Chain A
Amino acid sequence: MTTATPTVPAGTQATEKTTRAARVRKRLNSRTATLVSIVIALVWTIPTFGLLISSVRPENEIKTTGWWTFFTNPQFTLDNYQQVLFSTSSSSGQLASYFINSLAITIPSVLFPLAFASLAAYALAWINFKGRDWLYIAIFALQIVPLQMALVPLLKFFSTGVTVAGVTVLPAWGLVDEQKFAQVWFAHTCFALPFAVFLLHNFISQLPRDLMEAARVDGATHPKIFRTIVLPLVTPALAAFGIFQFLWVWNDLLVALIFAGGGDETAPLTVRLAEMAGTRGNEWQRLTAGAFVSIVVPLTVFLSLQRYFVRGLLAGSVKG
C-alpha cells in the first residue's frame, strides 16, 4: 500500500521534478490512507451495527435469518424495545426498572469521588504539611491494588460490621432492597479515589504558582482559593474524571454483582443483561434490544463529551 510507491533515494537533489513527484505521491498516500482507514473503521463498527439492526427486526426474522437480509427485506418494529423495557412478565427483561437502578447507582458514585478527590488533590498540591509527598505516593500506589483484593472483607464489613476482640466497633449496615444502593456508592467511591486523586492532582498541581501566591498574599484562605480559583480553572479536568467515572460505573459488572445483589430493586442493567445472556442466550430479540438500552446512555455521554474524555485519558496515562 503506502510503502509500495517508489521512493526517492537519500541524497538526490531536490529538483522541481522530484518535489512534484513527492507531492503527487503524498496525495496518493493520503488517498490510500483515507480509503484504508475508513474501511477499517467501518469493519470495526459492523458488529455493533448488526446488533442495532437486529434490535428493530421482528422476533421471528431475527431468529431465522441473518441481520444483513434486512437490506433486501426490511421489516421494522419497536416491539422488542417495548417488550424488554416495560413488560412485567418475568421472562422479559423488565429493563426499565434496571435502567433506573443504573441511574441511581451511577449519579452519587460519580459525585462523591469527584468532590472528595478534588479536595484531597488540592491539599496534596498546594497546602504545605509534613509528609505530603509520602502521602501522595501512597495514594498513587493504591491505584495498582486490584479491587478483587478488597471485595471479600468489604462485603463482610457491610454485612456484619467490625468487631475488635469481641467488641462491636461498627455495627452491620443491615441494608435491604433499594437501601443497598448506599453500599454500591460506598464501594465505587473507595475504588475510584486513588485514580481520581492522581488525575486531578496532575491538573491542579500545574496551576501557576504565581496565581496561588498572589491569592495567599491577598489574604485568601485555602477553602476560598479552592472554591473561587481552583475549581473554575480545573473544570475540564473535573469533566474528564466525571466522564471516566460515569462510564466505569455505568458499565461495571463486578462491583454491582457483589454489592447490589441480583434483584430488580438494586441491580443495574449490566447485571441483568449478563444474567439474560446466560439464561436466555438464544432470545436475541430481547438481548439485542436490551444491549442497546444499556449502550445508549454511555454512548450519548461519550459522543457529546469526547473532547474532555480524550484529554483526561492523555493526562491520566501519559504524563505519569
Chain B
Amino acid sequence: MEFDFAEEQPKFLMLMYGLIAFVAVVGGLLLLLDAVPAWFARRREAQLIAASASGTPLPRRRKEREGLFALFFLLPTLLLLTIGLVVPAIRTTLLSFMDRGSNDWVGLRNYGWMFSEGSIIRVLVNTLIWVLLVPLVATAFGLLYAVLVDKARFEAVAKSLIFLPMAISFVGATIIWKFVYAYRGDGQEQIGLLNQIVVGLGGEPKQWLLESPLNTFLLIVIMVWIQAGFAMVVLSAAIKAIPADIVEAARLDGVTPWQMFWRITMPSIRPALIVVVVTLSIATLKVFDIVRTATNGNYDTSVIATEMYNHAFRYGENGQGSALAVFLFVLVIPIVIYQIRNLRQQREG
C-alpha cells in the first residue's frame, strides 16, 4: 500500500533526457552561431595578411551575411511552427471536407451536419451564450472593482485575492465550484454552499448541474470567477495610467464621481477595455476544461471545444471533429479583425 519511489525513476530519466536535449540543441545552436563567424573572421584575416605580404590589392570587404544569421536564429521556431501548427491547420481544413476515416471527399456534408443536427445546434447556442456573457460580465466586474479598489486601502491584497483564481487550473476551479454546487437529498444536511444558502432562505435544495439551461449559467460563473481578475488587473493599470493632471483638473471643476467615470475614466481606458473584451472572447470560445470536468458535456451543457474533442478523439469522427475545429477558427476571425481595426484607428487618431 505504499508509494514506491523507485517506480517513478524512468520518468526522471526521461526528464533528464529532455533537459540534455535542451542543452544540446540550444547550446549547439549558440556555439555554431559563435564558431561560424569566428571562422570567417580568421579566414579574412589570413587573406589580408597574405595579400599584404604578396603586395596584391586587398580583397574587398564582402557584404555581411545578415540573412544567414537570421536563418539560424529563426530555424527552430520556423521548423516547429511549420510542423506543429501551419501544416496541421491546413490538414485539418482539408479533413473537414472528408469522411470520418479521412478516405473520401464528402464536400460540405460535415458542415451541413453541424447546422442540422439538433444536439450540435444546442452546442452552438451554448457557445454563443458563453461568448456573450463571459466577456461582458467579467469585464464589467473587473472594471467596477478596478475603479473601486483605486480609492481603497489594502489595494494590493484585495487585488491579489481577486486575481488568485488565475493561477488555479480550470480543472481545479471546476472542482472548487462543483463543491459549492454539491447536492444532498432533501432532509439531509447540505454540504454545498449554494444549497445551504437556498435552504437557509427556506428554499428546496437542487441538483444544480443537472438542470438545463441553468447549469450552463452556473458553469459560466466559474469562467467569470477565473477571468474577472485578468480584466481587473489590466483595467486597473489603465486607470492608473490616466494622467494625474486630467483627473485633478476635472476634480477642480467639481465633477461628480459619476461624471468622472463616464467622461474621464471610460474614454481614457477604452483601448484597454477593448483588449480585455477581445482576449476574453477568444478564451471563452475555446473553453473546454470547465465543461468537460463539470458535466462532460452532458445535460445540454456542451460547447464547441468539448464536442470537437468528443467527435475527433472519442467517436473517431475525424471529419466532423475537424469541421467543428474549423468553425471555431472562423468564429475567432471577426473578433481579431475588429481588434486590428481598432488598433489601427488608435495609431492614426
Contacts and interface: CB of A to CB of B under 8 A. Distances in A.
Contacts of B34: 221, 223-224
B225 A10 contact: no
A151 interface: yes
Nearest to B309: A254
A38 B154 CA distance: 8
Contacts of A154: 84, 88
Interface string A101-114: 10110011001100
A42 to B, nearest CB: 7
A248 to B, nearest CB: 10
Report the contact-size class of chain A (Cβ under 8 Å from the partner): 35 or more
A122 B14 contact: no
B321 to A, nearest CB: 6
A238 interface: no
A177 B176 CA distance: 31
B332 to A, nearest CB: 5
Contacts of A3: 256-258
Contact of A142 (B4, B37, B86, B166): B86
Interface stretch (B44-52, B68-76, B112-120, B128-136): B68-76
A111 B179 contact: no
Nearest to A145: B89
A128 interface: yes
A172 interface: no
Nearest to A273: B171
B168 A273 contact: no
A317 to B, nearest CB: 5
Given A40-B145, A86-B2, A313-B233, A251 B170 contact: yes
A88 interface: yes
A166 interface: no
A73 interface: no
A87 interface: yes
Interface residues of B, number: 131
A29 B162 contact: no
A310 B256 contact: no
A298 B18 contact: no
Interface string B76-118: 1110110111111101110100000000000000000000000
Interface in A252-280: 252-254, 257-258, 265, 270, 273-274, 277-278
Contacts of A101: 11
Interface in A225-241: 226-227
B219 interface: no
Contact of A277 (B38, B92, B167, B171): B171
Given A100-B11, A149-B329, A288-B179, A116 B76 contact: yes
B95 A10 contact: no
Interface string B246-290: 000000111111100000000000011001100100100110110
B174 interface: yes
A116 B326 contact: no
A42 B293 CA distance: 26
A221 B153 contact: no
A123 B70 contact: yes
Contact of B19 (A86, A107, A274): A107
Give the interface centre of B18, B26, B33 by most chain A CB atoms within 10 Å. Answer: B18
A295 B172 contact: yes
Interface string B296-338: 1000000001001100110000100110111011001100100
A287 interface: yes
B172 A291 contact: yes
A35 to B, nearest CB: 8
A100 to B, nearest CB: 5
Given A47-B177, A119-B73, A295-B172, A152 B92 contact: yes
A139 B324 CA distance: 24
Given A3-B256, A148-B305, A253-B288, A130 B67 contact: yes
25 contacts: A30-B153, A41-B161, A44-B164, A44-B165, A44-B225, A63-B191, A66-B189, A100-B12, A112-B22, A124-B74, A129-B70, A152-B318, A153-B88, A155-B313, A181-B15, A190-B80, A197-B77, A221-B37, A222-B33, A223-B37, A278-B296, A284-B179, A287-B178, A295-B167, A318-B271
Interface of B: 1-4, 7-8, 10-15, 18-19, 21-22, 25-26, 29-30, 33-34, 37-38, 66-67, 69-70, 73-74, 76-78, 80-81, 83-89, 91-93, 95, 145, 148-155, 157-172, 174-180, 182, 188-193, 196, 225, 230, 233-234, 237-238, 252-258, 271-272, 275-276, 279, 282, 285-286, 288-289, 292-294, 296, 305, 308-309, 312-313, 318, 321-322, 324-326, 328-329, 332-333, 336, 339, 343
Given A151-B312, A224-B34, 19 more contacts: A34-B152, A37-B148, A46-B193, A47-B177, A101-B11, A103-B15, A104-B12, A144-B336, A145-B329, A150-B84, A150-B89, A150-B92, A153-B91, A153-B92, A193-B84, A251-B168, A277-B175, A294-B171, A299-B168
